[in-house]
Amino acid sequence: MKRMSMVQAINEALDIMMAENPRVFLLGEDIGHMGGDFGVTRGLWQKYGAERVRDTPLSEAAIIGTAIGAAMVGMRPVPEIMFADFLGTCYDQIVNNAAKMHYMFDGQFKAPIVIRTAAGGGFGGGPHHSQSVEGWFMNVPGLVVVGPATPYDAKGMLIASIENDNPILFLEHKALYKVRGEVEEGKYTVPLRQAKVAREGTDVTVVAAMKMVHEALAAAEELATEGISVEVVDLRTLRPWDAETVLTSVAKTGRAVVANEAPKMGGLGADVSAAISEESFHHLKAPVQRVCGLDTPIPFSQPLEKIILPGKEDIKAAVRKTVDY
């Protein structure tokens, strides 16, 4: 094990897979000599050359279209979309081509692409560089959406994603790029579609993903001083999410809070809370609470952004509400 940041963990995963499999190649804006907007691909252009670390024109539709075509003839492309907000410009390629490829061609073709992109707010990026976009893709059969919260999971899940035959949207929360943690050396995988219990507890289950996992863990630590034992479930894969782990935890605690950075309407939090209410109704001692962002575009102003985006204090308030019900 060695300690590294999430940026370093993702870079190491890409390096391992490119060294192992010559069909793996990267493409995206400024990912070559510059090393990417966040430094995730730094050093790979020098090591593998411009053929396998391809700088592209500023066209997300071209990036994803090229990746899908390459995947159909046996390559393993890992395209980078600089900011998740820009997925809107290649949405049709992802939703109507990549996600449906295997189904429409009865397995004769597939689209094993891993779309890496930086998501989430909290840094003053404004309305076009700060969105949590997983809700845009929750209703798309054939697509897998991954959102790691730790460097260990980021490395292992990226390796697993590149080896997977499904089109995968790999969300990297910008606020977590500098988070450091213990990471296993060499190649290993973390299974997709499998949540993990990040903290054991007995009174309330908090289901979260990406940055909200860290907010939930901080809230749980402080609530423990009030005598409230919080169990934190890290979804890790957002679509399809691991209902078995979540419902097992809720059956144990009898209370649930779902924490998601995106706006409340139509998002991941809505889907998870609905499933808990439907499947665990008789286990619940209180209504499910959702902690989500406000229903507004994200401003450039960081003081306003802090009001709009949910955090530790919002989770603590929701947990207390379920306990006091």
% the chain with pLDDT above 90: 99
Residue pLDDT, tens place only, 236-251: 999 999 999 999 999 9
Report the chain's mean pLDDT, rounded to a whole number.
97
Rounded mean pLDDT, 80-99: 97
In the set 129, 173, 214, 282, the catalytic residue is 129
We find that the CATH architecture of domain 2-183 is 3-Layer(aba) Sandwich (3.40)
Q: 282 catalytic, yes or no?
A: no
Instruction: Give the start-to-end residue ranges of the domains of the chain.
Output: 2-183, 196-324
The pTM (predicted TM-score) of the whole model is 0.97
Catalogue the long-range contacts made by 227-231 (C-beta closer than 8 Å, 24 or more residues apart).
Answer: 228/203, 228/204, 228/319, 228/320, 228/323, 229/201, 229/202, 229/203, 229/204, 230/199, 230/201, 230/203, 230/204, 230/205, 230/206, 230/319, 231/197, 231/199, 231/200, 231/201, 231/202, 231/204, 231/205, 231/206
Reply yes or no: is the peptide bond before residue 240 cis, omega within 30 of 0. Answer: yes
pLDDT in tens, 256-313: 999 999 999 999 999 999 999 999 999 999 999 999 999 999 999 999 999 999 999 9
Q: What is the pLDDT of residue 94?
A: 98
Q: Distance between CA 108 and CA 32 in Å, rounded?
A: 33
Q: What is the mean pLDDT of residues 78-102?
A: 97
Specify the fold of 196-324. Rossmann fold (3.40.50)
Per-residue pLDDT tens digits for 181-219? 999 999 999 999 999 999 999 999 999 999 999 999 999
Q: pLDDT for 63-75, tens place per residue? A: 999 999 999 999 9
Answer whether 2-183 and 196-324 agree in fold. yes
